[in-house]
Amino acid sequence: MKEKRGANMFLNDYMSEKFPNLKLRPPLFYNWDTGIRFELGNPDDNDEVSYMKSVYNRSLSIFKSLHSVDDEIIIVANVHHAGEQNLLKRRKLKIFNHYIKSKNVLYRLQHRVIPYVFEDVYDIYDFETHRYTLQCNVSEVKYINMIKAICNHDMDIKPKIFHDVFFINKTKNTIFHIYDDRGCDVLSSDKESIGHLYKNYNDWILDYDRNTIDKTFQ
């Protein structure tokens, strides 16, 4: 896969129009006015099997309620490395190989090196972020397996995906991001697009942010 000049411009244009000034990095919820933060795992559940069963069920239920199979999406993965390391070798991100149904779809995968997305947060300037983007339809993604792997990020369970992965729904103008097994953020360009999530999964809203979320949707 070759890095293309101007790659990811479609993503930049879309974000500028629908989510202006929002950086694709966690925590999304605290950097956008219209969003919901859901709790995926019950912190009081000490049984790992039961805990992860809840995490998978909640994350997949929210994803399926937010996305239809024909929706056009952009999957974005941020991979962070020290800059010098990546001057020597550019590597294809294998998670797309594992979770995309057709090799033909993988030809759309684009790659771009951008400044480290957290440099202004941590004052780290010798890292860079490799951003991989793939335009596809939901039906072309093995999203059940992919979401489970994302949820396994901090668990001793394989397979797992270590990187931040964002599902941007161009059809509904929403962003879905699981930050780890504890929870996920759902953002929208307008509250009507995710009002049904607020209503149907109200019990799963993270209590810490409930007052803020209630003010947005009530």
Tens of pLDDT, residue by residue over 18-54, are 999 999 999 999 999 999 999 999 999 999 999 999 9
Domain containing 76: what range? 9-217
Q: Does any domain span residue 1?
A: no
Q: What Å distances lie between residue 157 and 38, 90, 116, 181, 195, CA to CA?
A: 22, 27, 28, 12, 33
Q: Does any domain span residue 4?
A: no
Q: Does any domain span residue 129?
A: yes
Residue 184 has pLDDT above 60, yes or no: yes
State the pTM of this model: 0.92
Number of domains in the chain: 1
Burial of 173 (0-12, 13-18, 19+ CB in 10 A): middle
Q: Does any domain span residue 106?
A: yes
